[in-house]
Amino acid sequence: MDEMTQLRELRAGAPAPDRSALAPGRQRLTDAIAGKRQGRRLRADWRIASLGAAVAVTVAALLGTQLLDASDPRSTGPATVAGDLDLSGPAQTLGRAADFLEDLTPPPEPRDDQWIYTRQVIGQPEPATGDAQRGKVQYDPDSWTPYGNAAAEKDGSDDDRSARQIYRAANALPADPAALLAEVRDLYPSGADTPESEGAQTFRGLGVLMESYPLAPAALARIYRAMATVPGVEITDHLVEDAAGREAIAVTREEEGTHQRRELLLSPYDYSYAGLRFVVAEDHEMKLPEGTEGIDPKLTAGDITLTEARTAAAVVDAEGDKP
């Protein structure tokens, strides 16, 4: 019997937790794995640095946090409404994405009284060696947040901005890539106690910004052009699969000191944000923090330690509305 199966059987009879119940525990485990408390400004992206592998292996196995596969249909090939894809490199792929977005007619900014609806799928870790015994549980992945979130705006922290604040900050980003990246680092700074290279901070900040909904097409185009200039950013030369089973473009960067790479996923149909993956870049053994009970996970290059997909996003008039 393999390690993952043994860990799953420990929780075989436990009920599936909901998102609100999981969030605090997930953050505490994240902080423990990182060996320190993270500052608030880093909590906007809890999937930082080396915690991706340990969170995926321990949380998914011990708590059973996976969702069922989404019902969205798979795409059928690389020829899309955006034209034939060019996956030859960051400048080519992201430049073409920016060209496509700049030709779109921007929708109006949401009203202050409207809500942002999103639906997210979180996938179970996928060992490169395969694990046919994996079980699945589900919880409601739908969420609603007010576009003009007064409480978030009053808080004023880096990781708790409202959708309205992010929309307007993205619209104000400059066209010059270097200037844009500097502003993104100001928007999403590193925590004082968390070592992070400038490239890692920049790519993380771009991912947090891209994940916000909505963003004006022209703003997203500027973000993509700037992302292509970040050192270490690459494009996977084939479409990958996201947590919902859809094909996606992978914009990647290896995370220094973590043995893994962060992958921002884009839709090949309209270049919108599709999700996120962390993928092991080289074989290694992940040591659990001192005093933590469990099996030290052995990770293999190609293991997917975290994968999540956004399968729906829309502006709606009231909490509970769906498009």
Range of weakest confidence among 47-51, 62-66, 122-126, 156-160: 62-66
Higher-confidence position of 294 and 29: 294
User: What is the separation, in whole angstroms, between the first and last Cα of the chain?
Assistant: 45
Higher-confidence position of 196 and 58: 196
- Judge whether 235 and 86 are in contact, CB under 8 Å: no
Q: Which residues have CB under 8 Å from 172's CB, separation 6+?
A: none
Tell me the per-residue pLDDT of 113-156, one tens digit each, with 9 for 90 and over.
999 999 999 987 766 655 433 444 444 689 999 999 887 787 65
Domain layout of the chain by residue ranges: 3-70+83-130+140-316
Sign of CA dihedral 229, 231, 236, 241: negative
Tell me the per-residue pLDDT of 75-122, one tens digit each, with 9 for 90 and over.
334 456 656 789 999 999 999 999 999 999 999 999 999 999 999 999
pLDDT at 292: 72
The helix or strand, by DSSP H or E, that contains position 165, with its residue range, turns out to be helix 163-171
**Both structure tokens of 243:** 């947590």
pLDDT at 82: 59
pLDDT at 155: 65
Higher-confidence position of 16 and 210: 210
Higher-confidence position of 302 and 103: 103
Which segments of 64-161 are extended strands (E)? 79-80, 83-84, 115-123, 142-146
